[in-house]
Chains A and B, each alone.
Chain A
Amino acid sequence: MTSTLPASLLFVALLLFLPTQLPAQEASIPPDRVYETGRLKPVDSTLKVKVGDPAPDFSLPTIDGEKITLAEFRDKKNVVLSFVPAAWTPICSGQWPGYNIVQDMFEQTDTQLIGISADNVPTLHAWVQEMGGVWFTVASDFHPHGQLAEALGILRSTGEAERSLFLIDKEGIIRYIDVHDINSRPDLGPLIKAMQKLE
């Protein structure tokens, strides 16, 4: 009995010590939590807006328990809407963590980034927590289902939003659209360059 005591103490000490060694923060999503979708139809919707059109206003709940509207940025900030098809899927789980290191580029161009999917708030909350958090606002277009995505013409027949980017200027006019092949990640370059072109 006495001889097992030091080993038991060591064991307890290890249990206390090890969690601090685990990469709990800023981790990418563990592969076993990601749902493999396989290859999907690249685009499964028809755009209803074009560059030069006014963007439809919206009011969406965020994972911080607030509401976000387009109108609140009028005359104040440009807005980028980054739609991703679904939480817990392969490409989406990598796209937003990448935006984490370009916060300065959004600030320099006076641009508010809003990440959106048609998942509900609790799911988006859990997923964003799992990726270690993001600096930008994450909003849900869940109810009425995909209302904003539908207004823009990017709601797929299966209820997800297209992987797409919209840049809206301070006057509420759409200045850049990239409805991307759902199976691949859009290059950040053209979006940032479009942001830098705005006043």
Chain B
Amino acid sequence: MRISIVFTFFLFLLLSGNAVAMEASDNAGSHPLPVGAAMPDLLLRGELSAGHLTHLGLKGPAPRHLSEIQAKTVILVAFSMYCPHCQREAPTLNELNALIASRGLSEEVKLIGVGIGNSDFEVQVFRDKYATTFPLFSDPDFRVNKELGEVGTPFFYVLAMNPEKKEIRVVKTLLGRMESAESFIDQAMKACE
């Protein structure tokens, strides 16, 4: 009896693990930065609305550096207009952004997206199609993704910003879709403590 339960439990773990791992367009040569690593000060390019610029505390249009974003925590999601998992994740990303606001975290936590291999046009297609509520940057030549470790999509980096030490540190990563926006923000906030 006990063995059967243990067996069933592990089978469940194995199968659900596979299901989660499949929810990404993984990249064969991917080598994400591990938790604890320093994130390079990425040059973020793209066309941002005035509202989004203000939200991030950026003066003037892109390109801007990651370190210029006014926040304690940046949740960076690497996505692509071409990735079906990202297309399906889009509503949950808006949900995540709404949760950040409803929990009163808008000042300290900023959610941004980077369209890996996507031109401004392609990022705009994604923005329009899914009425994306948070700032999206473009990465037409994969320059940002080289620094991110050539990750698959979607890929989440939770980053602790420390402007005094001029340091940005990886505190949590996730390849593939979130289980839910709620569980993700809980885990992200815990990782930041």
A and B: interacting chains: yes
New contact pairs (8) apart from A7-B4, A185-B82, CB-CB < 8 Å = A7-B5, A14-B11, A18-B16, A36-B28, A95-B82, A97-B87, A101-B87, A188-B122
By a beta-carbon cutoff of 8 Å, the part of chain B in contact with chain A is 1, 4-5, 7-8, 11-12, 15-16, 18-19, 22-23, 25-26, 28, 80-85, 87-88, 117, 119-122, 125-126, 129, 140
7 contacts between A and B (CB under 8 A): A3-B1, A11-B4, A11-B8, A14-B11, A28-B84, A30-B22, A95-B82
CB distance from B90 to the nearest CB of A (A): 10
Residues from chain B with Cβ under 8 Å of A81 in the complex: none
Residues from chain A with Cβ under 8 Å of B22 in the complex: 22-23, 27, 30
CB distance from B188 to the nearest CB of A (A): 23
By a beta-carbon cutoff of 8 Å, the part of chain A in contact with chain B is 3-4, 6-8, 10-11, 14, 18, 21-23, 26-28, 30-31, 36, 90, 94-95, 97-98, 100-102, 105, 131-132, 185, 187-189, 192
Contact A21 B120 (CB under 8 A): no
Number of contacts between A and B (CB, 8 Å)? 88
Contact B121 A21 (CB under 8 A): no
Distance A101 CA – B87 CA, assembled complex (angstroms):
8
Contact B83 A18 (CB under 8 A): no
Using A14-B11, A18-B15, A187-B121 as known contacts, say yes or no to A98 and B4 having CB atoms under 8 A apart: no
Using A185-B82, A187-B140 as known contacts, say yes or no to A21 and B119 having CB atoms under 8 A apart: no
CB distance from A138 to the nearest CB of B (A): 16
Among A8, A21, A189, the one with the most B-chain Cβ atoms within 10 Å of its Cβ is: A189
Contact B12 A14 (CB under 8 A): yes
Residues from chain A with Cβ under 8 Å of B5 in the complex: 7, 10
Question: Nearest 9 A-B pairs (CB), nearest first?
Answer: A189-B121, A98-B82, A7-B4, A3-B1, A28-B25, A187-B119, A94-B82, A26-B84, A11-B8
Contact B87 A26 (CB under 8 A): yes
CB distance from A104 to the nearest CB of B (A): 9
Residues from chain B with Cβ under 8 Å of A94 in the complex: 25, 80, 82-83
Residues from chain A with Cβ under 8 Å of B7 in the complex: 7, 11
Distance A10 CA – B82 CA, assembled complex (angstroms):
39
Contact B83 A21 (CB under 8 A): no
Minimum CB distance partner of A104 in chain B? B129
Distance A97 CA – B8 CA, assembled complex (angstroms):
36
Contact B28 A97 (CB under 8 A): no
Contact A189 B122 (CB under 8 A): yes
Among A26, A28, A100, A185, the one with the most B-chain Cβ atoms within 10 Å of its Cβ is: A28
CB distance from B17 to the nearest CB of A (A): 11
Distance A11 CA – B25 CA, assembled complex (angstroms):
30
Using A3-B1, A21-B16, A23-B23 as known contacts, say yes or no to A102 and B84 having CB atoms under 8 A apart: no
